[in-house]
């Protein structure tokens, strides 16, 4: 259907009343709308309770402007190998834009009805040093938030809203991060306490004693929605949805069952009723997902992009890459951690490959390659560190690191420019440009302590330098063929 006709169709609308809001979600992007929001809506329906979500966009008004005319209802379209399945998601009750009205966001988070504040703000949204896991007190948004009543960062909003609840005599809300970070709840707790101690040690002590920050593991592939997706949906349904989300059939959510005790049974939706795994320790699941899925996703993204592949499905359709990713799983990733109880890692790897190969999911290598400086420490460097300690080879992962270094240099193997999107993009390009030889470039990039600690950098330098040189001389496919 032509784009100019799509917007003339009737707009998607809500059926029934809005549920009472019990959750505020910071960073209402495509992933949470295709994953957490769907689970929560199902859980609320299963238990007959109301768990409406107030979404917060920390910067852009685009999501609010797209969804407000359709009463914050949107379509989640499942893209299976054999066709599509649509569902109308109606759990979002409002969307606030933090940059426009910080006070409205703080008031919503401090409201007595709110039980949970959840987050999907991406790795860079935590304003931390990925190499140390500590809050970066020199980050411009953190410096601003320490001096202002109108915060900019997710950390600033969390601490200032918790301060309001304490002043009002309310229990804290549970803070539930859904981002791909190891031990994400414990990491976020440390960042919140770092900020709180800088402004009010008594507040920090209250958060430390009463606050809850459960770790989670989330999994669903959610490619960016394209204009043609909106047009295809409109043609199929006869209605206009300005902000649908596309997703694969698979989903998984593992949550530590550790919520603020003061609310009793009203502390969270009945997530277990809809298949969420409530556990005492998420760490084995995190390692499995971050290393086996996210680690190979990033490896395939950088190497696939440099080989000219546009999507992950296209990349693994190349037999050289198919063998490479299986090599990573078998020899470098699966030996690096202990599987969750009852999980067959070989079967999990084959299920991942099937998901990657789904032709209906056009997950672009360029999209996955974004923000690599924030992702590599969690997705790849932890595995490298554990393999080094155990004396295992990691040539494949070192090759992925080398591909990332070529990528952030801003020029592909054919000399074409790369549109690098990364919070450290300028610094990384300057480091790359400072070296005249591949060895110089690798050494310069390994010196970036916000990504690499010195011990790891020293240990992997020769392997990464060799891989960088081979990639630039021979190209990606010959290097991977020789490896596997």
Q: What is the pLDDT of residues 425-458, one digit of tens each?
A: 999 999 999 999 999 999 999 999 999 999 999 9
Task: Taking residues 91-103, report their average pLDDT.
Answer: 98
DSSP E strand stretches across 81-166: 83-89, 92-97, 116-119
Range list for CATH 1.10.1040.10 in the chain: 283-483
- Burial group, residue 365, by CB count within 10 angstroms (0-12, 13-18, 19+): buried
φ/ψ (deg, to 5) at 179: -95, 160
pLDDT at 3 over 90: no
Using alpha carbons, list the distances in angstroms from residue 113 to 17, 22, 117: 18, 6, 11
Task: Taking residues 60-77, report their average pLDDT.
Answer: 97
Helix (H, G, I), strand (E, B), or coil: what is residue 331? Answer: helix
The CB density around residue 170, as the number of other CB atoms within 10 Å, is: 15
Q: The domain 283-483: what is its CATH number? A: 1.10.1040.10
pLDDT at 94 over 90: yes
pLDDT tens per residue across span 209-253: 999 999 999 999 999 999 999 999 999 999 999 999 999 999 999
The DSSP result for 396-414, as a single string, is HHHHHHHHHHHHHTTB-TT
Report the distance separating Cα 402 and Cα 463, nearest Å. Answer: 9
**Percent over 90 (pLDDT), the chain:** 95
Range list for CATH 3.40.50.720 in the chain: 3-279
pLDDT tens per residue across span 26-60: 999 999 999 999 999 999 999 999 999 999 999 99
pLDDT at 310 over 90: yes
Tokens of 328: 């990573």
Tokens of 145: 């938030």
The CB density around residue 249, as the number of other CB atoms within 10 Å, is: 16
Look at strands 216-219 and 92-97 and give their pairing: unpaired
Report the distance separating Cα 343 and Cα 9, nearest Å. Answer: 47
For position 2, what pLDDT does the model report?
A: 65
For position 4, what pLDDT does the model report?
A: 67
Place of tokens 């430390």: 208
Q: What is the DSSP letter of 333?
A: I
Report the distance separating Cα 349 and Cα 245, nearest Å. Answer: 26
Closest CA to 38 of 275, 242, 212: 275
Report the distance separating Cα 176 and Cα 243, nearest Å. Answer: 25
Report the distance separating Cα 64 and Cα 84, nearest Å. Answer: 26
Provide the pLDDT confidence category of residue 79 given band limits of 50, 70 and 90: very high
Helix (H, G, I), strand (E, B), or coil: what is residue 78? Answer: strand
Look at strands 52-57 and 92-97 and give their pairing: parallel
pTM, to two decimals: 0.88
Contact 26, 154 (CB under 8 A): yes
What Rg, from alpha-carbon coordinates, does the chain have? Answer: 23
With residue 174 as reference, give the H or E element that holds it.
strand 174-177
The CB density around residue 354, as the number of other CB atoms within 10 Å, is: 12
- Burial group, residue 250, by CB count within 10 angstroms (0-12, 13-18, 19+): middle
Mean pLDDT of all residues belonging to the chain: 96
Report the distance separating Cα 418 and Cα 374, nearest Å. Answer: 18
- Burial group, residue 455, by CB count within 10 angstroms (0-12, 13-18, 19+): exposed
pLDDT tens per residue across span 359-409: 999 899 999 999 999 999 999 999 999 999 999 999 999 999 999 999 999
Contact 479, 470 (CB under 8 A): yes
Q: State whether CATH 1.10.3720.10 applies to domain 3-279.
A: no
The DSSP result for 277-328, as a single string, is EEES--HHHHHIIIIIIIHHHHHHHHHHHHTT--BHHHHHHSHHHHHHHHHI
Report the distance separating Cα 218 and Cα 142, nearest Å. Answer: 27
Sorted by sequence, the CB contacts under 8 Å of residue 301 that are 6+ apart come out as 312, 365, 366, 368, 369
């Amino acid at each position: 259907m032509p784009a100019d006709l799509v917007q003339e169709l009737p707009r998607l609308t809500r059926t029934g009343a809005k549920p009472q809001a019990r959750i505020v979600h910071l960073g209402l992007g495509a992933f949470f709308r295709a994953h957490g929001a769907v689970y929560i809506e199902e859980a609320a329906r299963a238990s007959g309770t109301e768990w409406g979500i107030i979404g917060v966009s920390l910067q852009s008004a685009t999501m609010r402007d797209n969804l407000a005319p359709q009463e914050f209802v949107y379509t989640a379209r499942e893209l299976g190998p054999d066709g599509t399945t649509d569902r109308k998601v109606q759990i979002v009750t409002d969307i606030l834009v933090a940059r426009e009205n910080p006070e409205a966001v703080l008031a919503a988070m401090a409201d007595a009805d709110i039980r949970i504040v959840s987050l999907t703000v991406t790795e860079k949204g935590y304003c931390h040093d990925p190499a140390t896991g500590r809050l970066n007190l020199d980050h411009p948004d953190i410096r601003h938030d320490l001096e202002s009543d109108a915060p900019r960062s997710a950390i600033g909003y969390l601490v200032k809203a918790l301060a309001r609840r304490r002043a009002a005599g309310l229990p804290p809300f549970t803070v539930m991060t859904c981002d791909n970070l190891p031990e994400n709840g414990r990491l976020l707790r440390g960042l919140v306490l770092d900020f709180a101690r800088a402004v009010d040690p008594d507040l920090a002590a209250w958060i430390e004693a009463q606050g809850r920050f459960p770790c989670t593991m989330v999994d669903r592939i959610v490619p960016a929605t394209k204009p043609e997706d909106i047009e295809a949906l409109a043609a199929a349904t006869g209605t206009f949805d300005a902000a649908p989300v596309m997703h694969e059939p698979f989903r998984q959510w593992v949550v530590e069952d550790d919520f603020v005790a003061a609310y009793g049974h009203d502390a969270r939706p009945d997530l277990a009723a809809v298949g969420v795994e409530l556990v005492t320790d998420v760490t084995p699941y995190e390692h499995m997902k971050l290393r086996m899925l996210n680690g190979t996703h990033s490896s395939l993204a950088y190497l696939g992009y440099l080989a000219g592949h546009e999507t992950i499905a296209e990349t693994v359709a190349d037999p050289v890459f198919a063998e490479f990713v299986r090599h990573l799983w078998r020899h470098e990733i699966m030996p690096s951690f202990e599987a969750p109880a009852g999980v067959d890692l070989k079967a999990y790897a084959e299920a991942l490959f099937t998901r990657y190969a789904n032709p209906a999911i056009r997950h672009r290598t360029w999209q996955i390659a974004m923000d690599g400086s924030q992702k590599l420490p969690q997705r790849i460097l932890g595995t490298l560190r554990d393999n080094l300690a155990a004396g295992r080879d990691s040539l494949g992962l070192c090759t992925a690191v080398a591909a990332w270094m070529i990528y952030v240099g801003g020029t592909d193997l054919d000399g074409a420019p790369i549109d690098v999107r990364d919070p450290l993009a300028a610094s990384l390009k300057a480091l790359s440009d400072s070296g005249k030889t591949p060895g110089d470039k690798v050494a310069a990039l390994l010196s970036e302590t916000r990504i690499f600690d010195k011990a790891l950098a020293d240990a992997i330098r020769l392997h990464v330098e060799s891989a960088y040189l081979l990639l630039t001389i021979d190209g990606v496919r010959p290097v991977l063929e020789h490896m596997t």
